[in-house]
Amino acid sequence: MCGIVGYIGSRVAYPILIKGLKRLEYRGYDSAGIALHDGTNLKVYKSKGKVSDLEIFSEQKNIEGTVGIAHTRWATHGEPNQINAHPHYSQSEELVIIHNGIIENYSVLKQGLTEHGFTFQSDTDTEVLIQLIEFMKNTNRVDLPTAVQLALNEVVGAYAIAVVDKNNPDMIVAARKGSPLVVGIGEDEYFVGSDATPIIEYTNKVVYIGEEEIVTLERNKPLKIKTIGNVEKFPEINKLELTLSQLEKGGFPHFMLKEIFEQPQTLSNCMKGRVNVDSNNITLAGFIDNKDKFLNAKRIIITACGTSWHSALIGMYIIEEYARIPVEVEYSSEFRYRKPVIDKDDVVIAISQSGETADTLAAVELAKQNGAFIFGICNVVGSSIPRNTHSGCYTHVGPEIGVASTKAFTAQVMVLTMLALLIGKEKGTLSEENYLKLIKELNQIPDKITAILEKENSIKDFSKTFTYASNFIYLGRGYNFPVAMEGALKLKEISYIHAEGYPAAEMKHGPIALISQEMPVVVIATKSATYEKVVSNIQEIKARKGRIISIITEGDEIVKNLSDFSISIPDTEECLSPLLAVIPLQLLAYHIAVVKGCNVDQPRNLAKSVTVE
Ligand code: G6P
């Protein structure tokens, strides 16, 4: 979703800002813009489309200046055109703003400002905010940080903003509530970003701006932070672990393919120091410190969105099987508004790759207010959700740039698996023998994924057959029902083919009506307690001339012979099979999208980090 980048220092700001915008492209956007202060003038250049379009637009214009802010916009209020793109000027054109988030009370504020003579060029809520800041500045005769503070006290909604004043080329004021913001500290220079990706090239010293905090970045002066309630804060400097090479494609044509292929390594990283095959043990610091909360939990609620919600479903299966604690899985967006019954003996697990998803963050807040213990499973270190939970576990897969989540999903499943096995062992609901067997098998997973990845070429070949299709059905049972949904989500996200994931047995209650020789049906038919039943479901599809693509266990000739195409995966414990079964589905979606000529890493309308509700 919208990306923010800013720079103040002694270098020319333009190339830093453009490069920063490119690093933020993965978040998803539809227009881009930049504001530069050359010491005298405050200029704004913006354009619909990609950052490369902005570069063309800015060619031969005055791009001087050592202070500037830049933005990629994912449209919320007003269509994605040049006028609605950020930055936005205030009425006098003395102030400019970039904004990520939604000002919910913008129409009331706009009306008030209109009565004071303000006029508006765009349809955005953001322009209302910069006019309000200008109004506060002029009527109260205050400096920019104070004007921002006064304005934000009037605002309902979520924001990360950065503001520059024509009359002060030595200052950027930035603030956040609900949307992420990071400040990078270099040698006599500051950077600001929606995340650390535009900053990492220049410094590894960062300050994560907290909720309702305003930060003032002044040339040659220390960073100043205060809350919108006027409490001064001491900036806490963190060291970034991110490396530049992690943000590059490393020879792969797309980030998504690179991330699919990284999974043997990312899962090893995720298990490193946690799953110890020699001492036959699993150690999770976030669990050990709060063991009683888990062991005494009457219920576990898992809340998440998108792909993370699918991993939550797998978590439900494995926690209930081995830890014998009732689990409920909730879409964060529903949970936060449906007045759920939450008890102080509940453990709420929030799963989020980005750690910034607005609905999941709000679900965390709600659960916290109701006294539950909150455990986060997140990837982005230092992001908002892990900073708002009581405890948690990072997935440690490195930056995930492709909008369609792949390596984050498998690592989320891995963390949930480790957690389930640990609770089960501690509670005595999982026998020592099974615990040891599962630990051993967990360690085999990276190698087994490597073996599946070696089949990429055959998946690529048969993917071509299906580009004609406008619909797909994905079927699975038990642990692989969520995998079917995840496979369908991958396909629709990046190839724009409509796809539905269904529990295989439910097919006869509706989707069977859709089956014809035009309809590809992807069936996860690996060896499991319900294998025979899935074989019967395949027969039902065959009888109606549906085209079967199956994911089977190596050596399974029965389903192979019933299928038009099949991909075999190594045998494993049933509860771990999602970690393997999802890999061919990721590759299938990827190759279909590539053959269709789709923009795999930045699919239309989608955002990597959904920071608005
Ligand atoms: C967006 C992304 C998905 C992701 C979902 C939840 O829709 O495009 O890939 O699964 O948000 O994101 P989170 O960061 O909370 O896991």
The 10s digit of each residue's pLDDT in 176-221 is 998 889 999 999 999 999 999 999 999 999 999 999 999 999 999 9
The closest residue, in CA terms, to atom 3 on ligand 1 is 306
Query: What phi and psi values does residue 281 have, to the nearest 5 degrees?
Result: -145, 155
What are the start-end ranges of the E strands in 461-609? 471-476, 498-503, 520-525, 547-553, 565-569
Percent pLDDT > 70 in the chain is 100
Look-up of token digits 């989500």: 489
Average pLDDT over every residue of 96-118? 95
Residues in the chain, how many? 613
Q: Answer whether 551's CB lies under 8 Å from 581's CB.
A: yes
Rg (CA), the chain: 25
Q: How many helices (H) and strands (E) does the chain have?
A: 20, 27
Average pLDDT over every residue of 471-475? 96
Of ligand 1's listed atoms, the one at least distance from the Cα of 380 is 14
Q: Answer whether 281's CB lies under 8 Å from 608's CB.
A: no
Q: Answer whether 206's CB lies under 8 Å from 185's CB.
A: yes
For every residue of 452-501, DSSP letters joined together read HHTTHHHHHHHHGGGTT-SEEEEEE-TTHHHHHHHHHHHHHHHH--EEEE
Residue 578 pLDDT grade (very low, low, confident, very high; cuts 50, 70, 90): very high
588 CA distance to ligand 1 middle (Å): 20
Sign of CA dihedral 501, 503, 504, 510: negative
pLDDT at 12: 97
C-alpha–C-alpha distance, residues 451 and 320, integer Å: 30
Best residue among 308, 359, 612 to mutate for probing ligand 1's pocket (most ligand atoms within 8 Å of CB) is 308
C-alpha–C-alpha distance, residues 261 and 449, integer Å: 9
The closest residue, in CA terms, to atom 2 on ligand 1 is 608
116 CA distance to ligand 1 middle (Å): 41
The 10s digit of each residue's pLDDT in 315-358 is 999 999 999 999 999 999 999 999 999 989 999 999 999 999 99
Q: Answer whether 434's CB lies under 8 Å from 379's CB.
A: no
401 CA distance to ligand 1 middle (Å): 11
pLDDT at 534: 95
Best residue among 377, 405, 413 to mutate for probing ligand 1's pocket (most ligand atoms within 8 Å of CB) is 405
Q: Answer whether 162's CB lies under 8 Å from 145's CB.
A: no
The closest residue, in CA terms, to atom 7 on ligand 1 is 306
Query: What phi and psi values does residue 79 have, to the nearest 5 degrees?
Result: -65, 160
308 CA distance to ligand 1 middle (Å): 7
Best residue among 25, 302, 349, 354 to mutate for probing ligand 1's pocket (most ligand atoms within 8 Å of CB) is 354
352 CA distance to ligand 1 middle (Å): 7
How far are the Cα atoms of 137, 158, 361 from residue 212, in angstroms, in the given order?
A: 19, 10, 15
Of ligand 1's listed atoms, the one at least distance from the Cα of 412 is 16
- Active-site residues: which are they? 2, 608
Best residue among 307, 410, 611 to mutate for probing ligand 1's pocket (most ligand atoms within 8 Å of CB) is 307
Ligand 1 pocket, Cβ-based, cut-off 6 angstroms: 305-308, 352-354, 357, 360, 403, 405, 606, 608-610
296 CA distance to ligand 1 middle (Å): 31
Of ligand 1's listed atoms, the one at least distance from the Cα of 607 is 8
The 10s digit of each residue's pLDDT in 124-181 is 999 999 999 999 999 999 999 999 999 999 999 989 999 999 999 999 999 999 888 9
The closest residue, in CA terms, to atom 15 on ligand 1 is 352
404 CA distance to ligand 1 middle (Å): 8
Task: Give this prediction's pTM.
Answer: 0.85
More confident residue, 244 or 183: 183
Average pLDDT over every residue of 504-523? 91
Residue 256 pLDDT grade (very low, low, confident, very high; cuts 50, 70, 90): very high
